Amino acid sequence: MKAWLSGLFLMISITLMAQPAPDWWADLHGYIRQHGNMYSLYKYTQGYFGPNALPLPEISDARIPERHSFELSTDAFWGDGDRTSNMAFHGEYIISDRASFSAWGTMLEQAQVTREVRDKRVSMAEDGRSFEMVGSIYFTTRIAIWQEQTYIPDIIANITMKTSSEKSQRMSRYFDTPGYYFMMESGKNLWQSSSAFLRQFRVVGNLGFLSYQMKNKYQNDAPIYAFKLKADFEKFSVEGLFGGYEGWLKDGDQHRVLRAKAMYHLPNMDCSLQYQYGVKDAAPHRLQAALRYYIGE
């Protein structure tokens, strides 16, 4: 049965990739069916795909949480001729006080782009509309190298693998190629009190590198970074972040964002609202609402 299912999936994938280019698309982009691969016309960078293709990941507090968690979120992106809405998930399993494993990604995505954006991205969505189920999935292992002491910050190694989306890039929403990134996370409490109005003030810095395969024989390698400030109060938290990555193509892969987030804490759940401003090679505006459930004692 397993071999049969694997063969069926392979046949479906080959069929999808073998679908001919629409006539209107071939005429518009000067594509000649008898010559070359039509996917060579695509630019595998964030600036030429949808906002969920290769975004800066959510940045943690540089600590291993005490409890398992599962988060559901909904996002709205707008600006620059692309309106996208989606639902996403994030689950984290705590292996020990020094290690965790998580999986996350987009479950559903609906988008509408203008004709200008459609043509810039070489999308085959003739009316600019697309609906995708399950984009790229990410798997992350985090290992605590050092736990915070008086003059030493928390230090965590973050190793993340990006799967190849089962969707082809015909709609210019996701990369159908794999990738990975490695980051060192560090975080330090600058203030901590169990009785004051401000319970904790924390600074977080991440630095690493990102690499993903493009459709040709090349891969894009990029430094990835983030800097975050977070203030915790009795029932809520606020944080601000700047981060991104700098690809070597310098054409749509200089991804930089600013984020502001507010969270309200309940005994077994966090409610959050986040706004993101795209500084470069990112959707100009993003608004996210999320619920994170905590599991176990």
Could you tell me how far CA 143 lies from the centroid of its own chain? 20
Residue 190: is its pLDDT beyond 50? yes
Instruction: Tell me the pLDDT band of 19, cut-offs 50, 70 and 90.
Output: low
- In order, the DSSP letters of 39-75 are GGG---SGGGS-TTSSPPPPP--SS--SSEEEEEEEE
**Rg, the chain, Cα only:** 21
Task: Note the pLDDT tens digit of each residue in 277-295.
Answer: 999 999 999 999 999 999 9
Residue 16: is its pLDDT beyond 60? no
Amino acid at 140: T
297 vs 65: CA distance, rounded Å: 12
105 vs 166: CA distance, rounded Å: 13
Instruction: Tell me the pLDDT band of 5, cut-offs 50, 70 and 90.
Output: very low
Among 272, 263, 259, smallest CA distance to 200 is for: 263
45 vs 193: CA distance, rounded Å: 44
Among 65, 73, 64, 69, smallest CA distance to 105 is for: 73
Polymer length in residues for the chain: 297
Residue 9: is its pLDDT beyond 60? no
**Secondary structure class of 268 (helix, strand, coil):** coil
pLDDT in the model for residue 135: 85
Residue 217: is its pLDDT beyond 80? no
**Secondary structure class of 16 (helix, strand, coil):** helix
Owner of token pair 């046949």: 11
Task: Note the pLDDT tens digit of each residue in 94-143.
Answer: 999 999 999 999 999 999 999 999 999 888 888 888 888 888 899 999 99
222 vs 39: CA distance, rounded Å: 23
257 vs 172: CA distance, rounded Å: 21
Beta bridge partner(s), residue 192 = 200
264 vs 105: CA distance, rounded Å: 23
Residue 3: is its pLDDT beyond 90? no
Among 191, 258, 194, 265, smallest CA distance to 230 is for: 191
54 vs 90: CA distance, rounded Å: 16
Among 199, 267, 193, smallest CA distance to 233 is for: 199
Tokens of 72: 């559901």
Among 222, 174, 160, 165, smallest CA distance to 49 is for: 174
Architecture of the domain whose range is 42-295: Beta Barrel (2.40)
Contacts of 61 (CB under 8 A, 6+ apart): 187, 202, 204, 230
Contacts of 253 (CB under 8 A, 6+ apart): 45, 46, 47, 220, 222, 245, 246, 247, 281
